[in-house]
Amino acid sequence: MATRFVITDHALDRFIERTEFHSLESDQYRELLLAKLARGIPFGGQMGNDVLYLLPCGLVAVVIWDKGTGFVKTVLTRDHAIASMESRRAILRFARSFRRQVRDPRDSASRAELRGLAERHFHAGIEKKERNVILREHGFDPAGEAGEIYRAAYRALIQSMRGSAA
């Protein structure tokens, strides 16, 4: 059985207001929202018939199900949906901040920052797991090229300490 969604005018208005497309017709927005709903993922701690759907575009649709039909009440930003759930005593935030974009370690400023982080971590005696967390918080991928640059700088510091101790 195919899933059927009915989009309220309010939900469509909120979707139009929160999307990055600004030159579409109303029917095109409706079709776009239906396509996003078809690929949406239910999430959150819902009560009753309400279901929150995380859409591929990052927005959240609030849907009420009745006899196999999903009525889309509104479309929220992810932050608004989380704030709404938290106001109902659900705790959903991550302990650490979330970086959406991984920085490119190839530019000289990023390389210098990675070397500086390696030096600070080396002198502070920070453990490997914590160093990886800090790299992620700065927008660098420890498993990628940034991690290689960072580890090379860290190993160079170890080698220089061994050389000076001899």
CATH number at residue 52: 3.30.2310.20
Reported as a pLDDT band with limits 50, 70 and 90, residue 24 is confident
For residue 5, the cross-strand partners are 70
pLDDT of 157 strictly over 60: yes
**CA-closest candidate to residue 144, choices 159, 132, 158:** 132
Domain check: are 56 and 113 in the same one? no
- CA distances 113 to 52, 53, 61, 98, 139, Å, are 40, 39, 40, 20, 11
How many domains does one find in the chain? 2
How does 93-108 read in b/e, with b if 16+ C-beta sit within 10 Å? Answer: eeeeeeeeeebebeee
- Let me know whether 117 and 46 are in one domain: no
**Last residue within a domain, chosen from 58, 87, 116:** 87
In a domain, 94, yes or no: no
What token pair was written down for 17? 């207001």
Q: Do 114 and 42 lie in a common domain?
A: no
- Give pTM, 2 decimals: 0.50
49: Cβ contacts below 8 Å, ≥ 6 apart: 64, 65, 66
Calculate mean pLDDT across residues 93-114. 63
Question: Could you give the percent of the chain with pLDDT greater than 90?
Answer: 12
pLDDT for the residue numbered 1: 41
User: Are 77 and 24 found together in one domain?
Assistant: yes
